[in-house]
Chain A
Amino acid sequence: MNVDFTAEDIAFRDEVRAFLRERLPKALSEKVRTGKHLTKEDMVGWHAILESRRWLASHWPEEWGGPGWSVVQRYIFDVEIALAHAPRIVPFGVNMLGPVLLKYGSDEQKKRWLPRILDGSDWWCQGYSEPGAGSDLANLKTQALRDGDHYVVNGQKTWTTLGKYADMIFCLVRTDPSAKKQKGISFLLIDMKTPGIEVRPIVLLDGDAEVSEVFFTDVRVPVENLVGDENLGWTYAKYLLTYERTNIAGVGASMAALDQLKEIARSEQKDGKPLAEDPQFAARLARVEIELENMKTTSLRVLAAAAHGGAPGAESSMLKIRGTEIRQEISSLARRALGPYAQPFISQALDEGFTGEAIGADYAAPIASQYFNQRKLSIFGGSNEIQREIITKTILEL
């Protein structure tokens, strides 16, 4: 057993740091650090910078444009980009659809879609949840019926994150209406510009429209956009989810957020002393820091054990639960740290180019809305209760 990074790992980390120093635009990292809203151009631009070094799709095989990194290198990369306040990689194409196409897509599909993910031609979004299919995802009703060399899609998807920017959507659709539940589901790639698609924003509790509803009315999709076999989509859907969950665990994001929390706690005053010296607050902070230290090792253990360096299976559910609990606790402590100044909220202050006067400390503006936004972490990607179901059946075998 040896939990230390090797000399090669350290050299790799230095290489990543040097790259971030040179290539991560200062204005961009400053926006991320101060919790400003990112534009589509911010995110696409950052993807292009990473791709210029072939570092965008860190877990794809080299023949499809991945960098050929080890599990540990990928971990180091994820942590370093978070600590440098780089925008997070938009996961839908790179981290969700990519792995599905690599494993289940035809050669033709790989050649057609994978390069377009890397060069930014296609912004993908996720068509999984429906109004009647949340935790019970297999209850989805959106139908795709075969008509010649097309499927005709009717139905509705929801909670589609950043759907407003998307060129393409990967959808779970029901291709066999008579089959029960998981059987009869297929995995379909749909061009968002096809007639019959309507995107409506959903305003969330933080006032932002991060997610959308997507409506499909007689949308014609060429059959070559079916991934894998008809009616076997559930298998691909679950495979994708293990990647999504591992991604959501967000050890790097927690490390960056914890650094910021410590800064806030040193700066905020209580009884004439830094809040960081308040025994109650210090104890809560220490507890979450300890949990994060444990989590780093747990996630490295899980990733190292995953076969062929792919995503872990049901263990990803463990990472998702504990990883999101840690992220939520950190954001909760940051909110508490602000005291009364958690309350003021000028949403324009989070937009680029805001010139108005800040209320309270310069770090205060986004904290409470981030806390509210992060309630999503234990809900999406399969709620944490659903993760416990998966652990129950797959790991505990109850």
Chain B
Amino acid sequence: MDFNHSEDRRMLADTLRRFLAERYSLDTRHRISASERGYSPEIWGELAALGVPAALLGEPLGGFGGSGFDLMVVFEALGRALVVEPFLGLAMVGRLLADGAGRADLASGLLDGTQIAAVALYEPGARYDLTNVTTRAERSATGGWTLSGGKAVVPQLESATRIVVSARVDTGLALFIVPRDADGVSIKGYPLVDGGRGGELVLQAVQLPADTRIACGDDALGTIEAAVAAGIVALGAEAVGILDVIKDSTLDYLRTRVQFGVPIGKFQALQHRMATVAIEIEQARSAVINAAAALDDDRLARERAVSAAKVTLGRVGTLVAEESIQLHGGIGMTWELPLPHFAKRLIMIGHQLGDEDHHLERYVRLGRG
């Protein structure tokens, strides 16, 4: 048992944090976030050159990482800088293409940043149910596939060159890689409340060659779960990075803001709330460590750990976001202050890959076996 990250991972985290501190100020982030693309191709390329994609992908895909703790160090650093670049899709696609067979071209593009992956699993009206899929894939006359349907609120969808889509086939679920520029693919993009962009995906009789199907049947659902689990570890680590920033900046405010002639951090009503926030953040960190550690365990252990993490993050994220704004008072409501942007992201992480209620129910179901 060892709660320190390995030397390699610490170095990667340091490099990434230094780069982001220099190149990704909050003003820069806001500018990128509000841009037409919703991400920065320039920064994306530089982060690829630093080896971040390689840290998120396993060896079969040409990377050197992809484990839970690799995701953890990278996304914690991304969270601290509130990065909007399309990393979540990359972290998840690593698990979808895990064996890498026949995907060498895609893998090399992901590694050097020339390909951007989005993972589109949820459908309008299906909330967080991964099996409630109405998108259909039919065998076409040429032996390929014809896909029709739609997907909901896909992060950084417009930036993607390849979109992994779940669809229903005769035998159950299947997964397909859809090129962004295929005929019949249309995207309705929009800004997100916490920054960056998302989009609705519409597929109208999209013709795909046979080899775009990467999994089907029980395999497909298993693969989807594994990818979502990796996504939850990534989001969880991002949340931990955000929680640490919020804690530091709120403490700073409590020490410096003077009312009634003393720093407001001298008031017990605020101190005890902040102590609770600090305890909860440590519990959230433990939950993410547990989930990261379980990412390569058997399905039941992994799924229970990631659902437990999402329940914890949902509860703690909401508490810390709301408390930090309240402890700041009016200034915590202003766009100008960094804090509320971190708080917004924290809350919206709760809306990705299943919310607290969804995962609590799921945790209970998994416990019954």
Residues on A lying within 8 angstroms of B by beta carbon are: 1-6, 9, 72, 277, 279, 282-283, 285-287, 289-291, 293-298, 300-301, 304-305, 318, 321-322, 385, 387-389, 391-392, 395-398
Contacts and interface: CB of A to CB of B under 8 A. Distances in A.
B274 A396 contact: yes
A163 B275 CA distance: 34
Contact of A3 (B1, B275, B312): B1
B190 interface: no
B282 interface: yes
A1 B282 CA distance: 16
19 contacts: A1-B289, A1-B293, A2-B293, A3-B293, A286-B360, A290-B311, A294-B308, A294-B312, A297-B286, A297-B289, A301-B3, A318-B279, A388-B272, A388-B276, A391-B275, A391-B278, A391-B279, A398-B263, A398-B266
Contacts of A305: 3
Nearest to B68: A1
B45 to A, nearest CB: 30
B367 interface: yes
A28 to B, nearest CB: 31
A289 B305 CA distance: 11
**B: interface residue count bin:** 35 or more
B3 A290 contact: no
Given A391-B275, A395-B278, A4 B251 contact: no
Nearest to B297: A4
Interface of B: 1-6, 9, 69, 72, 251, 254-255, 263, 265-266, 268, 271-272, 274-276, 278-279, 282-287, 289-290, 292-293, 305, 308, 311-312, 360-361, 363-364, 367-368
A398 B254 contact: yes
Contact of B278 (A3, A72, A318): A318
Given A1-B3, A3-B3, A298 B286 contact: yes
A305 B367 CA distance: 32
Given A1-B5, A398-B265, A287 B311 contact: yes
Contacts of B311: 286-287, 290
Contacts of A300: 1, 3
Contacts of B276: 388
A212 to B, nearest CB: 32
B279 A1 contact: no
Contacts of B279: 318, 321-322, 391
A337 B5 CA distance: 42
A282 B312 contact: no
Contacts of A287: 311, 360
Nearest to A70: B1
A31 B286 CA distance: 34
A317 to B, nearest CB: 8
A1 B4 contact: yes
B189 to A, nearest CB: 36
Contacts of B272: 385, 388, 392
A294 B283 contact: yes
A1 B6 contact: yes
A321 B277 CA distance: 12
A22 B5 CA distance: 40
A293 B272 CA distance: 24
B271 A3 contact: no
A131 B74 CA distance: 54
Given A294-B283, A297-B290, 18 more contacts: A1-B292, A3-B290, A286-B360, A286-B367, A287-B311, A287-B360, A290-B311, A290-B363, A291-B283, A293-B308, A301-B3, A301-B282, A388-B271, A391-B275, A396-B278, A397-B255, A398-B265, A398-B266
A300 to B, nearest CB: 7
Contact of A392 (B72, B263, B275, B292): B275
Given A291-B283, A294-B290, A385-B272, A398 B251 contact: yes
Nearest to B362: A286
A162 to B, nearest CB: 30
Of the listed residues B274, B283, B367, the one surrounded by the most CB atoms of chain A closer than 10 A to its CB is B283
A322 B5 CA distance: 25
Nearest to B6: A1
Which residue among A4, A279, A282, A385 has the maximum number of chain B CB atoms within 10 Å of its CB? A282
Contacts of A291: 283, 312
A3 B289 contact: yes
A296 B283 CA distance: 9
B364 A392 contact: no
Contacts of B72: 1
Contacts of B255: 397-398
A286 B363 contact: yes
A154 to B, nearest CB: 34
B273 to A, nearest CB: 9
A283 B364 contact: yes
Contacts of A398: 251, 254-255, 263, 265-266, 271, 274
A301 B360 contact: no
Contact of A1 (B2, B278, B368): B2
Interface pairs A-B: 7 shortest CB-CB: A297-B286, A398-B265, A388-B275, A392-B271, A391-B275, A3-B293, A294-B286
Contacts of B1: 2-6, 9, 72, 300, 304
Nearest to A290: B308
A316 to B, nearest CB: 12
Contacts of A295: 283, 286
Nearest to A9: B1
Contacts of A277: 368
A16 B50 CA distance: 48
B134 to A, nearest CB: 27
Nearest to A299: B286
Contacts of B293: 1-4
Contacts of B289: 1, 3, 297, 301
Contacts of B290: 3, 293-294, 297
A321 B263 CA distance: 26
A392 B69 contact: no
Contact of A396 (B2, B69, B275, B368): B275
A321 B278 CA distance: 12
A388 B268 CA distance: 9
Contact of B282 (A285, A298, A397): A298
B265 to A, nearest CB: 4
Given A72-B1, A293-B308, A389-B271, A396 B251 contact: yes
A231 to B, nearest CB: 29
Contacts of A304: 1-3
A308 B12 CA distance: 29
A301 B2 contact: no
Contacts of B363: 286, 290
B2 A2 contact: yes
A321 B280 CA distance: 11
